[in-house]
Amino acid sequence: LGADVVEMEVSALYNVASFRNIDLVALFLIGDSIADGVWKPFFNSSLIQIRMVDIATVLLNCLLSIEHG
C-alpha cells in the first residue's frame, strides 16, 4: 500500500461540511512530487500555470451555470 496524494487541509473542510450537512467539492492540482524519493517542485512550470487557468475556467463556468432559485 501507499499514498498517491497527501493532503491535509481539505480533509478538515470535508469534516466541517459533513457536520454542517452541506456539499463541498475540492479540485487538486499537484504542484510537486516526491514519488521517487526526491522532491521535485513543479510550481513554476508552464504546464502548472496552464492547468491553473484551465481549473479556474471550469470553476467559473460551473458557477455561472448554477441556477439561483
Residue 4 pLDDT greater than 60, yes or no: yes
Q: Name the DSSP letter for residue 41.
A: E
The lowest-confidence range among 3-7, 18-22, 39-43 is 3-7
Joined grid coordinates for residue 53: 487557468
pLDDT of residue 3: 64
Beta bridge partners of residue 42, listed in sequence order? none
Residue 33 pLDDT greater than 90, yes or no: no
Q: How confident is the model at residue 30 (pLDDT cuts 50, 70, 90)?
A: confident
Which of 40, 42, 3, 10 is closest to 27 using CA atoms? 10
pLDDT of residue 68: 62
pLDDT of residue 50: 92
Which of 16, 18, 28 is closest to 59 using CA atoms? 28
